[in-house]
Chain A
């Protein structure tokens, strides 16, 4: 079984994101970028599936500017076998990415597509679901445990109020949650090996995807700064403040 993993290059999780002065989006110039942490978990899971003999090949795919290849290389250093880079400057909306992934999945014929549940930049949480719908495949989202047995996968999902276990037929789309695994540190020999692993380029147009945005961003703003708190003397005053000043009761 081949595993296809979709990854995204985002602002490094340890960097404080800043909104561009004109409110058109988040500043990415001269900002440290890295692989979306959920995508890293997806790559780790794919590599573990291969190590466990469940997968025969792991392929990572990502769309983005030239530097995206560096993120793909990181996935190859974790242990993925080869990469596919779909060059594109500027943002791509979840639907366009899902269409791109559908076209790649049709070429690659994987038994499983793994994605992060969402990217930490736009927090859309849509691509995996859209991809499953476009492919007409079953989906299992927010996976915290994946067990593969023949042509079906048992997935433990983190849902409100607890864990849900579902069985899906393969091929399927699984999006992964934080607690699925802890990604390894890429070792030096694997980093050196990654240098020699192939990264193919496929144009977005060759995949039949129209990248034109369907959404219009009106404005991006910083969250409002928190004001200072006040001290109250009595319970009655507290209730009054909650009711009349904060308006929460």
Chain B
């Protein structure tokens, strides 16, 4: 059994560790305006990414990317997450966020949507969540009704990240509400300037980003805007969410790694009542627990990613990795904050930012409880 990363990924990891330490961490508190990367830093990081040969890392070769595997992508995400220089959402170092649904489009639609996204000319958002359908998309109320050569769409989507700047939306809508997520949901590509599409409320979140509500009122689109077949939408969406879960997992690894580095370094420096914090058992246990949990999470994420790369079904491992890593990194960030005391609460250090972001990951893209529900379902099927 092989527990080491392949040599080339170890080298890549070392290179990125150095890059993040030397280039990103020294400027990490000044790169963003709110949750958006300032344009001068976006330009710099894009150039650096190209120079490091990481641009379009996970985009398949047939679409002009490098076609690197899930494990390689996880390594990049992990190392980049050690710094808060890049925004948590939408600030990918390796280029535009190309969602895999777009690879399923026919050639004409690829020209219209996939390639412009890869070139950075168009932006997409993903619309699944609704006021009464979050982790249970089967109960969504947004409907798409076939009418001749068109579909007519009505409903409301909520918490849609990036809707304000998106050119189009990958929309999940019910084509047969009686079937729910088992064949009742379809995926559509809809331009945001289509008549009847309207941005509603924008929410302020603790993470700093401001997702939107989108309202669809008698939106009429040609039937060719349907991706794949009717009823396949949930399946297509899940494929993307699977990769997203490992992105969560690997992000958490980087955050926890940095928090442990900071925690240890501060515990050695800070003297209270005549002794460094590092000599206190209460602090030592926090450090030990964090290290143990990070180690476990890393094995889970790498294992799931390696399984994905070998073409096996890795859904169960991805649920486990997402659940455990996101929970783990929040605990580690919390301990790191606690060890730092008052200074940890300030914006001079990246801890409060990591803590807030990490708190949100226990909810976004599959809440921890839903992960456990799905994991339990798998276990119940597995044993008599």
User: In the assembled complex, which residues on chain B have CB atoms less than 8 Å from the CB atom of A191?
Assistant: 8, 11-12, 15, 53
Would you call B19 an interface residue if the criterion is a C-beta within 8 Å of the partner chain's C-beta atoms? yes
Query: Would you give the shortest CB distance from B9 to chain A, in whole angstroms?
Result: 9
Q: Are A186 and B11 in contact (CB under 8 A)?
A: yes
Would you call B347 an interface residue if the criterion is a C-beta within 8 Å of the partner chain's C-beta atoms? no
Q: Are A188 and B7 in contact (CB under 8 A)?
A: no
User: In the assembled complex, which residues on chain B have CB atoms less than 8 Å from the CB atom of A34?
Assistant: 14
Q: Are A185 and B52 in contact (CB under 8 A)?
A: yes
Would you call B280 an interface residue if the criterion is a C-beta within 8 Å of the partner chain's C-beta atoms? no
Q: Are B18 and A185 in contact (CB under 8 A)?
A: yes
User: In the assembled complex, which residues on chain B have CB atoms less than 8 Å from the CB atom of A189?
Assistant: 53
Interface string of B51-68 (1 = CB under 8 A from A): 111100100000000101
Are A73 and B7 also in contact (CB < 8 A) when A187-B53, A189-B53 are? Answer: yes
Would you call B10 an interface residue if the criterion is a C-beta within 8 Å of the partner chain's C-beta atoms? yes
Would you call A109 an interface residue if the criterion is a C-beta within 8 Å of the partner chain's C-beta atoms? no
User: In the assembled complex, which residues on chain A have CB atoms less than 8 Å from the CB atom of B18?
Assistant: 185
Q: Are B15 and A195 in contact (CB under 8 A)?
A: no
A74 and B51 CA atoms in complex are apart in Å by: 17
Query: Would you give the shortest CB distance from B18 to chain A, in whole angstroms?
Result: 7
Interface string of A169-209 (1 = CB under 8 A from B): 00000000000000001111111101100000000000000
Are A188 and B19 also in contact (CB < 8 A) when A70-B10, A74-B11 are? Answer: no
Query: Would you give the shortest CB distance from B13 to chain A, in whole angstroms?
Result: 10
Would you call A115 an interface residue if the criterion is a C-beta within 8 Å of the partner chain's C-beta atoms? no
Q: Are B10 and A188 in contact (CB under 8 A)?
A: no
User: In the assembled complex, which residues on chain B have CB atoms less than 8 Å from the CB atom of A185?
Assistant: 15, 18-19, 51-52
User: In the assembled complex, which residues on chain A have CB atoms less than 8 Å from the CB atom of B8?
Assistant: 191-192, 194-195
Query: Would you give the shortest CB distance from A202 to chain B, in whole angstroms?
Result: 21
A187 and B68 CA atoms in complex are apart in Å by: 14
Chain B interface size, under 10 / 10 to 19 / 20 to 34 / 35 or more:
10 to 19
- 28 A/B residue pairs, CB under 8 Å, sorted by A: A34-B14, A70-B7, A70-B10, A73-B7, A73-B11, A74-B11, A77-B11, A77-B15, A185-B15, A185-B18, A185-B19, A185-B51, A185-B52, A186-B11, A186-B12, A187-B51, A187-B53, A188-B12, A188-B52, A188-B53, A188-B68, A189-B53, A191-B11, A191-B12, A191-B53, A192-B8, A195-B7, A195-B8
User: In the assembled complex, which residues on chain B have CB atoms less than 8 Å from the CB atom of A187?
Assistant: 15, 51-53
- List residues of A (72-94) whose CB comes within 8 Å of B's CBs: 73-74, 77
Q: Are B14 and A188 in contact (CB under 8 A)?
A: no
Interface core residue of B7, B10, B19, B68 (most chain A CB under 10 Å): B7
User: In the assembled complex, which residues on chain B have CB atoms less than 8 Å from the CB atom of A195?
Assistant: 7-8
Interface core residue of A70, A190, A191 (most chain B CB under 10 Å): A191
User: In the assembled complex, which residues on chain A have CB atoms less than 8 Å from the CB atom of B14?
Assistant: 34, 74
Q: Are B51 and A188 in contact (CB under 8 A)?
A: no
Query: Would you give the shortest CB distance from B61 to chain A, in whole angstroms?
Result: 13
Query: Would you give the shortest CB distance from B209 to chain A, in whole angstroms?
Result: 29
> Nearest CB to that of B51 among chain A residues?
A187
User: In the assembled complex, which residues on chain A have CB atoms less than 8 Å from the CB atom of B53?
Assistant: 187-191
User: In the assembled complex, which residues on chain B have CB atoms less than 8 Å from the CB atom of A70?
Assistant: 7, 10-11
Query: Would you give the shortest CB distance from A155 to chain B, in whole angstroms?
Result: 28
Interface core residue of B10, B14, B68 (most chain A CB under 10 Å): B14
A82 and B150 CA atoms in complex are apart in Å by: 61
